[in-house]
Each structure stands twice: as structure tokens, then as C-alpha cells.
Amino acid sequence: MGRRPFQLIADLMQMGVFATVTQTIDAEVAVKICAKNGFKFETEKRDKAAHVVNVPREQKVELDQDDASEQLKPRPPVITIMGHVDHGKTSLLDVIRKANVVAGEAGGITQHIGAYTISYPHPERREEVMQLTFLDTPGHAAFSAMRARGANVTDIVVLVVAANDGVMPQTLEALSHAKAAKVPIIVAVNKCDHPNANPMRVKQQLQDKGLTPDDWGGDTLYVECSALTKQGVDRLIESILLQAELMELKANPDRKAKGNVIESGVEPGGPVATVLVRKGTLRVGDVVLCGRHFGRVRAMMNEDGQRLKEAGPSHAVRLLGLNGVPEAGSEFSAVDNEKAARELAEEREEERKKSDLEGLRPRRQTLEDIFTNIDQMTAKVLKVIIKADTQGSVEAICEALRKIETAKVQLEIVHSAVGAISEGDVLLASSADSVILGFHTRVDSSAADTAKREGVQIKLYAIIYELIDQVKEAMAGLLDPLLKEVVVGQAEVRKVFELSKGGKVAGCLVASGRLVRGKMRVRRRNNLIYEGVSLTLKRFQDEVPEVRAGFECGIRLDGFDDFQEGDIIECYAIEKVAQKLV
């Protein structure tokens, strides 16, 4: 353009662009500069490929990526069977998968989590075969341990209730878990062939707990069945399939696998993990990263021990090849880069060792925390688990707690039941971050150890009013404190002394309370004329921390010298006062 650099810089400055000779400018700015000087400016795009320099990048482990909606395909539902001990959970699953599991369990009680995938014709389109994956849980300890680690692997919960026994403590515990996991619940009323069977009583008991049957205008499916005579089992499977169809469960099978460990252990071949694939497809030979363990998948087997080459979404398989035993509920990811996976696993192991040494465990809320650290509390929900010696006590406590009327804090009763405080209660409290309140009950030794390990607080009471009052105090403790001014003491100015180096000292007599160094204000004929802090507080020539009533002292204030005889100097403090639940 034939212009000198400083001339162009001046033009740019007029346009509000500040650039030096060597800086680049935007194409729009260049167009304007050229137009101002009578030139036409055209931009040409460079051929990117010709100018790209291949710098070897450090490969990172990509643990997850979002799937596009068009990549998602329908997947089988994952169903967890829960309920009270000996209500027929495993026998029902036995009939569903036409195999005998109970005979293999010690004493007919489920000791491990089983995961089984079955095929079943669609209830409306018989030619279409649907797949379902069932998890059979031993009680709820593993289920809550998995939830405590943030793993919700189930889509539907089948709550098994015996028609002759009705709702029992573990039934309510299972219900608490299912509600906390926010998954649909289907109730299987089992043992309907029993002479003392009363399915109507089960419906009434569960309706009180919020599970209103669909034929009573609610939205919970109830299926009456019998594992012994096999009646109603087909209807139960069809109900599950219809519920799953409503949920439109989808996952992307054409990607690296990701899922959760259901159970793990050591067998003669090395560490074995039962894993549930949530998305992607897991293949033999894939590199798997699972918590602080990793490895290449050497073999995969289904529940019958048959070797598999691959497992798609919602399929459960036993996996060999990890270098250690992962925790139940931990997440696994199939990755491309074995070296990066090894480094990440080693890094996690180092972090775990370090945190074990430092004792870094996430602390749970305790009632004392709520009382003492009022200003640090941000939560406005107090969660509690209630255990008592009788059903009447449980209902009385729950009723009394629900009557605590306040709009400021919510009280959430996560679970309430009769009996001793068990390990299951502690694990539920751990996953829900709640406090366990026991009334006339005891704590199992295993529960006490788990509570110590998990950092869950257990409070035992013998007087119901004490329990209610402490809960009220804890709820009030969740509120932000009120700031209140408290006058500590007052002194009257008797004489004003001039200092040789400038400034004035008020010679005072403490009339009431005590004077301490800190916040002070001066009142003259009841009018406030100064508010600030003290510079010095002396008795004779010595600096003192406080002066009590009846003694004389000398006071200098920060930024105030205009003392007059008869002024009142007030010493005050700001106190934090816990709010009431009014």
C-alpha cells in the first residue's frame, strides 16, 4: 500500500485497535484499513494439511464419551430382585431361569450376587425375543455398598413379599433402597399358594408405604405369583417387559465398553470379577481399567460357565485378566492404550495409599457437627434413619418428627424399622449421608465396626423427648446463625489527658461489666458519636487485656480523640445466635 508502519498503527488506533509492528490483526480490521487507503482486500485460506506439523502427542486414557442419539439402540433391562430373607427371591429367580440356584447355596440362603441374562418372547409380539438381566442380591449390604460408591446399575426393582408373612423389616429396608435409587418398583406377591396367603394385606401394608396398586388408582404393578406352582411367573416377566418398554432403555453398543463390577473374588485362575456392561461392547482382548486395577480380558463366561467372545449392553459376565480384585460397585472402562491404563491405575493406587496414610475419609454429618460448625453448614436437609424396639415406638417417633413444623429445614426419614441397628442400616446411612437414631435398641458388633469405618454416627436414646429435642436442635443448627450485639461493659470518662506525642487518653471508671480490647463505641447524652476499635487499654502504665467494674483505666481509641468528661464508652461483642425453628 506504500504506507509507513507508524501511519498504519495510527489508523489502527483511530479504529480502537492497539497493535505493534509485529502483531497480527483480524481479517475484518485489515479490510477496513485497506478500504481507507483505497485498496481491495481478499482473504485466501491456506491449505491446512500442507502446514500441519506432526508432533507426537502423549496418549491419554479416554474413559468416557457422550453418545449421539442416533447411535443409541434398545438394550435389555437390568432387574434387581429384593425382599425379606426367606420370602422366595431366589426360588422365584430359579423358576424364571429354569435352573436350580437354591440347592447350591449354603443353607438355602444367598451368599453372593448372581447375575443372569434370560431370553423371553415379547408379551404382545410373540415372534420377538426380548432379553432380561436379573441381579439376585444377598440382602442389601452389597446393594447399599454399591449405591454408597455412586453406582446405580439397576433399571427396575422387583420387591418380593411373601403373601403369608406380609411386609417384614427387610422388606421395608429394600423399599428404602429402591426409593433412594429412584427406580420403578414392581411388587411380586409370592407364596400365593400358601394356606395362610393374604395378598390383600400385602397391598394394604405397602399402600401405607406409598406403593399404591395400579388397580386401586396408583402406579405400582402388583403381580400375585408362586415360585412353587409357577403360577403368575409369566405375568411377572411380562409386567417387567412392559415396564422396560415404557422406560425406552437405550445404549450405544458400537463403542468401548463401560459398566460396573457386581462382585469380585479370587479363584484358582486369578482375580475374577462379575461385571455388568452398561454401554458399549466388551470383547476378549480388550484392555480394561477398573479403579486401581487394570488388565487385558483373557476370558469371559456367562452364568452357566460358557465362554463368550463379546458382551453387549446390560449383559453380565465373569471376567478374567485383571491384576487385582476390584471393589463391588466400582466402574470399569475398556480403553485403547494399555500403557496409559497402567499408569493411571498405578496413580490411583498411589493416591489410595496416600489417603490411607493420612486417614482421608469423607466425613459424614454428625449432630455435633451441626451444632458446632453452624456457620460452615450449607445443607438444609437433615436425613435420619430410625430403629426402635417395637413398631409402636417407630411409628410414634416418626409421627413426632413429622410434626416438627418448619419451612426453613426439611427432615427426611430415609428408613425406619424395628430391631437392632445392623450393618445394612449403616451402609444405607453411609450412602444417604444420614444419622442413625436408635431407641431402646442395640447395635450389632459388625454394624459398630462398619459405622466406625464409614464415619456414620449412631445415637442411642432411652427417652423419646430427648431424641425429638436433639433432632430439633440439629435442624436448627442447619440454619444460618443470627448476629447479635452484646454489651460487655460500660465506662464513664472522668478526665481527658493530653499525650506529649499527640493524641488524647480518656481516664475512665468502669461502671458495669468489664472492658476488653476490641470493639468500642462512644455515647454522649445517649447519642452515638463514634464506633470503632480500641488502640490501647491501660491500668497505670501497663497494657492490660481487660478491666473489671469498679476499676479505673486509660483508653485510647483508633481514629477518635474528641473525648469529653461524662462520655460513656461501651465495649461490645458480636455473637452468633442459633436460629429457632419458628
The 3-class SS string of 438-472 reads EECCCECHHHHHHHHHHCCCEEEECCHHHHHHHHH
In this structure, the answer to whether residues 464 and 489 fall within a common structural domain is no
Q: How far apart are CA 49 and CA 37, in angstroms?
A: 34
In this structure, the answer to whether residues 118 and 236 fall within a common structural domain is yes
In this structure, the answer to whether residues 226 and 96 fall within a common structural domain is yes
pLDDT of residue 106: 41
The cell numbers describing 533, all together, are 476499635
Q: Average pLDDT over the chain, rounded to whole?
A: 79
In this structure, the answer to whether residues 323 and 290 fall within a common structural domain is yes
Each residue's pLDDT tens digit, 467-478: 888 888 888 777
Each residue's pLDDT tens digit, 35-65: 888 888 887 765 544 444 443 333 444 555 6
Q: 246 in a domain, yes or no?
A: yes
The cell numbers describing 311, all together, are 458382551
Q: What is the phi/psi pair of residue 511, to 5°?
A: -85, -40
CA 580 to chain centre: 28
pLDDT of residue 142: 41
Q: How far apart are CA 555 and CA 533, in angstroms?
A: 11
Final residue of a structural domain among 221, 250, 279: 250
What pTM did the predictor assign? 0.52
Q: Letter for the amino acid at 142?
A: A
In this structure, the answer to whether residues 441 and 493 fall within a common structural domain is no
In this structure, the answer to whether residues 266 and 200 fall within a common structural domain is no
Which of helix, strand or coil describes residue 523?
strand
Q: 126 versus 430: which is more confidently predicted?
A: 430
The label of the residue with cell 504506507 reads: 3
Q: 54 in a domain, yes or no?
A: no
Each residue's pLDDT tens digit, 133-183: 887 655 434 445 544 444 467 888 888 888 888 888 777 877 887 787 778
pLDDT of residue 4: 84
Q: Where does 209-337 have alpha helices with state H? A: 233-247
Range picked from 71-80, 413-422, 492-501 for highest mean pLDDT: 492-501
pLDDT of residue 185: 87
Q: 521 in a domain, yes or no?
A: yes
Residues in the chain: 582
The label of the residue with cell 485466501 reads: 44
Q: Letter for the amino acid at 291?
A: G
CA torsion angle 109 113 114 120 (round to 10): 100
pLDDT of residue 374: 52
How large a percentage of the chain has pLDDT more than 70? 84
Final residue of a structural domain among 197, 218, 250: 250
Range picked from 130-139, 193-202, 506-515 for highest mean pLDDT: 506-515
Which of helix, strand or coil describes residue 256?
strand
Q: 303 in a domain, yes or no?
A: yes
Q: 60 in a domain, yes or no?
A: no
Q: How far apart are CA 69 and CA 213, in angstroms?
A: 34
Least confident of 228-232, 262-266, 295-299, 467-471: 262-266
pLDDT of residue 108: 41
Q: 103 versus 235: which is more confidently predicted?
A: 235
pLDDT score of 431 more than 80? yes
Read out DSSP for 147-202?
A: HHTT----SEEEEEEETTT-S-HHHHHHHHHHHHTT--EEEEEE-TTSTT--HHHH
pLDDT of residue 509: 93
Final residue of a structural domain among 250, 278, 293: 250
Q: How far apart are CA 78 and CA 578, in angstroms?
A: 47
pLDDT of residue 101: 42
Each residue's pLDDT tens digit, 532-573: 898 899 988 889 989 999 999 999 998 888 899 999 999 999
Structural contact between residues 318 and 300, judged by C-beta atoms closer than 8 angstroms:
yes
- From residue 133, alpha-carbon distances to 88, 117, 314, 562 in Å are 18, 4, 7, 85
pLDDT of residue 554: 92
Q: 99 versus 290: which is more confidently predicted?
A: 290
Least confident of 179-183, 190-194, 424-428: 179-183
How large a percentage of the chain has pLDDT more than 90? 8
State the CATH number of the domain containing residue 543.
2.40.30.10
Cβ neighbours, 10 Å, residue 101: 17
Please give the residue range of the domain that contains residue 236.
Answer: 71-250
Question: Which residues make beta-bridge pairs with 572?
Answer: 487
User: Which pLDDT band, with edges at 50, 70 and 90, does 328 fall under?
Assistant: low
The label of the residue with cell 429457632 reads: 580
Structural contact between residues 273 and 325, judged by C-beta atoms closer than 8 angstroms:
yes
Q: 312 in a domain, yes or no?
A: yes
In this structure, the answer to whether residues 520 and 505 fall within a common structural domain is yes
Q: 59 in a domain, yes or no?
A: no
Question: CA angle, corner 165, sides to 159 and 166, nearest 5?
Answer: 50
Q: 61 in a domain, yes or no?
A: no
Cβ neighbours, 10 Å, residue 298: 13
Terminal-to-terminal C-alpha distance of the chain: 79
In this structure, the answer to whether residues 106 and 168 fall within a common structural domain is yes
In this structure, the answer to whether residues 94 and 144 fall within a common structural domain is yes
User: Which pLDDT band, with edges at 50, 70 and 90, does 491 fall under?
Assistant: very high
pLDDT of residue 66: 65
- From residue 150, alpha-carbon distances to 43, 61, 277, 328 in Å are 53, 22, 16, 11
pLDDT of residue 338: 77
Residues 6+ apart with CB under 8 A from 129: 119, 120, 121, 122
Which of helix, strand or coil describes residue 6?
helix
Structural contact between residues 264 and 270, judged by C-beta atoms closer than 8 angstroms:
no
Q: 492 versus 243: which is more confidently predicted?
A: 492
Q: What is the phi/psi pair of residue 405, to 5°?
A: -90, 115
Q: How far apart are CA 445 and CA 433, in angstroms?
A: 21
> What letter would DSSP give residue 227?
T
Structural contact between residues 145 and 186, judged by C-beta atoms closer than 8 angstroms:
no
pLDDT score of 507 more than 90? yes
| Total domain count, the chain | 5
pLDDT of residue 65: 62
Q: How far apart are CA 473 and CA 269, in angstroms?
A: 56
Which of helix, strand or coil describes residue 581?
coil
In this structure, the answer to whether residues 473 and 486 fall within a common structural domain is no
State the CATH number of the domain containing residue 435.
3.40.50.10050
Region 372-379: mean pLDDT is 52
Structural contact between residues 222 and 203, judged by C-beta atoms closer than 8 angstroms:
yes
In this structure, the answer to whether residues 197 and 220 fall within a common structural domain is yes
Q: How far apart are CA 504 and CA 493, in angstroms?
A: 12
Q: 395 versus 506: which is more confidently predicted?
A: 506
Question: Which residues make beta-bridge pairs with 556?
Answer: 536
In this structure, the answer to whether residues 27 and 13 fall within a common structural domain is yes
Each residue's pLDDT tens digit, 248-279: 888 888 888 888 887 776 677 778 888 888 88
